[in-house]
Amino acid sequence: MRKQQRADHLLRRLEELYPETPIPLDHKDSYTLLVAVLLSAQCTDVRVNLVTPALFALADNPRDMMRVPVEKIREVIRPCGLSPRKSAAISELSKILVEKHGGEVPQDFEALEALPGVGHKTASVVMAQAFGVPAFPVDTHIHRLAKRWKLSAAKNVEQTERDLKKLFPRESWNKLHLQIIFYGREHCTARGCDGKSCLLCGEVR
């Protein structure tokens, strides 16, 4: 099976397995999604969803968040890890959103990536899930599965993203990246599959 054939087969099968793709991080708007995605760095979505209710009870918009002491933010988000860095980023990006963007999350990759604590993956998630702009955020699950499925031999997520964008239709990206994540978590974990034994790995060998 050639690479494009594998990609086409996987696209069909993942749609069968995951016709619905609910966003894993609880949020109510683009700002709360941005904060939740920032918190998810090196932390599980489950833990983030346990922490954000208390954080958003303090402040759920940039104007209120910028007034919350950084120490208070850090105390609340401590279970997510990297709390000194993340709390400073949440506080500072909230100020920037108010001062430069009228209190709104910009619908622009460059503006998002200029915010503290927001890299390309975080910006891609927000653009895809909050604004519906085609993007292909690549996390560790997608990077691992792209290699297992021989869709990319890239050593970094940036190249994996470029490789996957060439293989899959643009209109599929926003849903597909979640489908791959769901499959990786449920069936093809780092230690639970040797690249041959799970359902889809067996089909595209």
What is the set of active-site residues? 121, 139
Provide the sign of the torsion angle of the four alpha carbons 170, 28, 60, 52, taken in this order: negative
Residues 6+ apart with CB under 8 A from 183: 14, 17, 18, 145, 200
DSSP for 127-194 reads: HHHTT--------HHHHHHHHHTTS---SSHHHHHHHHHHHS-GGGHHHHHHHHHHHHHHT--TTT--
Q: Is 10 exposed, middle or buried (0-12, 13-18, 19+ CB in 10 A)?
A: buried
d(CA 175, CA 170): 10
Phi, psi (rounded to 5 degrees) for 11: -60, -45
200 near 183, Cβ under 8 Å?
yes
d(CA 138, CA 146): 10
